[in-house]
């Protein structure tokens, strides 16, 4: 049994007869009254995100997990296929277990969190950022250079990302996977 002081991002816990992954938390110590921890929990079975507040010292049921590196192979509808980079075993996961399926490129190596008790995959952690090629975007209009002006661009995975006006088709860009936002252009 763990307590609220052990809460951290990525921790998997049992709560309300389901397994949740903590995606955000904040320890709050008000001037009056007891301390508490405000959390955002993502269900690893349904993908639903809920807000929950734990009082300080509350016991939480931690789920023992292992992490393994898997390479993304391909997708079939809502089913994604991965291969373990150590023993080459393949697994299939539903789209709901992925945080940013639109930014997943074939051959990308991700970290899969697996429940130690029943060997069930719980969630997939993407790298902090990925490099993708822009396949379609409107050309930037000269003179339309207001501060921080952006335009939509479609990247090689099919996802749409808002990019600055100077980005053209064929450019490679770094995209932050957590928010799905443009970070920088990659110069070759």
What CA–CA distance (Å, rounded) separates 50 from 127?
A: 24
- One digit per residue, pLDDT tens: the chain, 188 residues? 778 888 888 788 888 888 888 888 999 888 888 889 999 988 877 778 899 998 888 888 888 888 889 999 998 888 889 999 899 889 888 887 777 788 888 888 998 888 888 888 877 888 888 888 999 888 876 666 666 778 889 998 888 988 888 888 889 999 988 888 889 988 87
* Pick from 157, 156, 91: nearest CA to 124: 91
Per-residue pLDDT, 33: 87
Give dist(CA 176, CA 124) in Å, integer: 16
Which residue(s) pair with 24 in the sheet? 40
Residue 83: predicted pLDDT: 92
CA-based nearest residue to 179, from 143, 126, 133, 136: 126
Residue 49 confidence (pLDDT): 87
Round to whole Å and give the CA distance between 65 and 15.
16
**CA gap 93, 112 in Å, rounded:** 10
CA dihedral of residues 67, 73, 74, 75 (deg, nearest 10):
-10
Q: Which residues of 28-49 are buried (b: 16+ CB within 10 A; e: fewer)?
A: eeeeeeeebbebbbbbbeeeee
Of the candidates 147, 150, 63, 71, the one whose C-alpha atom is nearest the C-alpha of residue 109 is 71
Residue 142: what pLDDT? Answer: 64
User: Is residue 166 within 8 Å of residue 148, measured between CB atoms?
Assistant: no
Question: pTM of the entire structure?
Answer: 0.69
């Amino acid at each position: 049994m763990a307590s609220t002081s052990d809460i951290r991002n990525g921790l998997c816990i049992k709560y309300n007869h389901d397994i949740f992954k903590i995606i955000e938390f904040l320890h709050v110590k008000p001037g009056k009254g007891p301390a508490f921890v405000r959390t955002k929990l993502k269900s690893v079975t349904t993908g639903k995100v809920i807000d929950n507040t734990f009082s300080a010292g509350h016991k939480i049921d931690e789920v023992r997990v292992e992490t393994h590196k898997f390479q993304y192979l391909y997708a079939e509808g809502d089913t994604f296929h991965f291969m373990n980079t150590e023993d080459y075993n393949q697994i299939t996961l539903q789209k709901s277990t992925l945080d940013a399926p639109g930014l997943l490129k074939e051959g990308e190596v991700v970290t899969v969190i697996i429940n130690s008790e029943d060997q069930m995959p719980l969630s997939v952690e993407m790298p902090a950022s990925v490099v993708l090629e822009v396949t379609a975007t409107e050309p930037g209009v000269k003179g339309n250079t207001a501060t921080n002006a952006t335009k939509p661009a479609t990247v090689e995975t099919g996802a749409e990302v808002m990019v600055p006006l100077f980005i053209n088709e064929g450019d490679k860009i770094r995209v932050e996977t957590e928010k799905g936002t443009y970070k920088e252009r990659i110069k070759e």
